[in-house]
Amino acid sequence: MSYALVVSEIRRGLFEDRNLDSIGFSNLLQRNITLLIPEGDYKINEKFVNNIIKVRIEESSFLNPLNMITALEKVINLKGNPDVIIFTLSSSGTELASYASGHFKLPLITDVSGYDKEKGIFLKSYYSDKIFGQFKLTDTGPFIITVRSGSFKDNAVEKASLPASETLEEIQISKNRTFIEYIEEDSTEIDITKAEFLLSVGRGIGNQDEIAGYEELAALLKAVISGSRPVIDKMWLPKPRQVGTSGKTVKPKVYFAMGISGAFQHIAGMKDSDCIIAVNKDPQAPIFQYAHYGIVADANKLRDNLKVIMKG
Ligand SMILES: Cc1cc2nc3c(=O)[nH]c(=O)nc-3n(C[C@H](O)[C@H](O)[C@H](O)COP(=O)(O)OP(=O)(O)OC[C@H]3O[C@@H](n4cnc5c(N)ncnc54)[C@H](O)[C@@H]3O)c2cc1C
């Protein structure tokens, strides 16, 4: 039977919303949907899928690629080869998908954000969404894919009936790799998700020495300072200040982005802000597509001018 196998994204006991993108993509392919999920009390809208297969393992073991391969082998023995195995684009989804691709020797396309059903063309971003690449599978056989959050969820629709559900027989847990714990971030840090005004800085500000000037401006504007991932990776700001898919999702009244290009991983974390003001020296910077107000300027010069104005 032809079907899409959706490997669910589970984090700390929660069935993540981005699973709807995997489900939506399966609908675009017009395949029956089988959802693979660890056994447990996960709140899922069951009507979105045709079958549910539960695996008798903990969340942490489910995220271990070595166990995932065993679970996938069991599903294939039970149901036959799926036409596609779908993972979410996340740190664990990407890891699991690449293991599965290597193990089953199946083609893998990562970070798919669009699909042209008529032509069978997949869309994938390069250079922070400045360029999109188109891909076609040369074979009609099964493949593996990771899908970008927010790309296909509108195609997730309820089915007419509740899904069939079954549980896989016990699987042998791999001892080669063990999950230890999630590490909470420093609770003494300011919570940027609660700030009404965020002044966010990106790699475009140049170097760490510039941060002090932005902190000064933030204080004058009564804003809280946050940043894009490179700024955090370079340790110009601490990790809890990171906005984006691997940082925090924020929704302040004002999001003032300076020297940030607007990569989708960043946009995903701030696009729902009430008012987005972007400053970038490149008029083609993708962030301008999301900004309510855009300023083409040198961020550091504008910062210094604003400081003068604010000081009156
Ligand atoms: C799995 C994964 C997760 C990720 N998670 C996140 C995340 O959570 N958050 C995140 O932000 N990124 C994340 N990224 C990284 C993301 O893809 C981008 O690389 C990153 O957002 C780029 O940061 P940036 O805009 O600061 O830098 P760049 O993309 O380098 O952009 C710098 C911008 O500054 C402009 N500029 C340069 N000089 C000036 C100047 N003098 N004045 C004004 N503008 C100037 C440039 O025109 C450019 O647009 C992730 C990537 C991956 C693969």
Work out the number of other CB atoms within 10 angstroms of the CB of residue 174. 15
CA distance 52 to 10: 14
Q: Is the pLDDT of residue 128 over 70?
A: no
Residue identifier of the C-alpha nearest atom 9 of ligand 1: 244
In the reported structure, the alpha carbon of residue 155 is separated from the centroid of ligand 1 by a whole-number distance in angstroms of: 30
pLDDT at 181 over 90: no
Equal fold, 3-167 vs 192-311: yes
Which of 246, 249, 258, 303 for a ligand 1 pocket mutation test, highest count of atoms within 8 Å of Cβ? 246
Measured CA to CA in angstroms, residue 257 lies from 204, 216, 238, 240 at distances of: 10, 16, 17, 17
Sign of CA dihedral 177, 181, 182, 187: negative
Per-residue pLDDT, 43: 87
Pocket of ligand 1 (CB under 6 A): 128, 202-204, 228-230, 242-247, 259-261, 263, 265-266, 269, 279-282, 285, 298-300
Instruction: Quote helix, strand, coil % in the chain, to nearest 5.
Output: 30, 25, 40
| Atom 28, ligand 1: residue with shortest CA distance | 261
* pLDDT attached to residue 150: 86
Instruction: Tell which residue, 172, 165, 162, 164, has the closest CA to residue 56.
Output: 172
| pLDDT, tens digit, 9 for 90 and up, residues 261-302 | 999 899 999 999 999 999 999 999 999 999 999 999 999 999
Are 226 and 241 in contact by the 8 Å Cβ rule? The answer is yes
Residues of the chain with pLDDT > 70, as a percent, come to 98
Ligand 1 atom nearest 202 alpha carbon: 26
Candidate from 229, 255, 284, 298 with most ligand 1 atoms within 8 A of CB, to mutate: 229
CA-closest residue to ligand 1 atom 41: 298
Q: What is the pLDDT of residues 206-243, one digit of tens each?
A: 999 999 999 999 999 999 999 999 999 999 999 999 99
Please state the domain extents for the chain: 3-167, 192-311
pLDDT bucket at 179, cuts 50 / 70 / 90: confident
Give me ligand 1 centre to Cα 14, in Å.
29
Q: Whose CA is nearest to atom 39 of ligand 1?
A: 204
With cut-offs at 50, 70 and 90, classify the pLDDT of residue 156.
very high
For the segment 97-104, the average pLDDT, to the nearest whole number, is 98
Residue with CA at minimum distance from ligand 1 atom 38 = 204
pLDDT higher than threshold 70 for residue 194: yes
Cα–Cα distance for residue pair 70/73, rounded to 1 Å: 5
Structural contact between residues 245 and 270, judged by C-beta atoms closer than 8 angstroms? no
Question: Sorting pLDDT into bands at 50, 70 and 90, what band is 41?
Answer: confident
- 3-167 belongs to which CATH class? alpha beta
Query: For domain 192-311, which CATH number applies: 3.40.50.300, 2.20.25.90, 3.40.50.1220, 3.65.10.10?
Result: 3.40.50.1220
Sequence-distant (≥ 6) Cβ neighbours of residue 246 within 8 angstroms: 91, 229, 265
Q: What is the pLDDT of residues 44-92, one digit of tens each?
A: 888 999 999 999 999 999 999 999 999 999 999 999 999 999 999 998 9
Two structure tokens written together for 144: 């593996």
User: What is each CA distance from 258 to 3, 187, 203, 274, 280, in whole angstroms?
Assistant: 46, 26, 9, 17, 6
The pLDDT value given to residue 1: 61
Ligand 1 atom nearest to CA at 261: 49
The pLDDT-based confidence of 106 (bands split at 50, 70, 90) is very high
Rounded to two decimals, the pTM is 0.65
pLDDT at 217: 97
- Residue 116, pLDDT > 70, answer yes
| Ligand 1: centre distance to CA 226 (Å) | 13
**Span 23-39, pLDDT tens digits:** 999 999 999 999 999 99
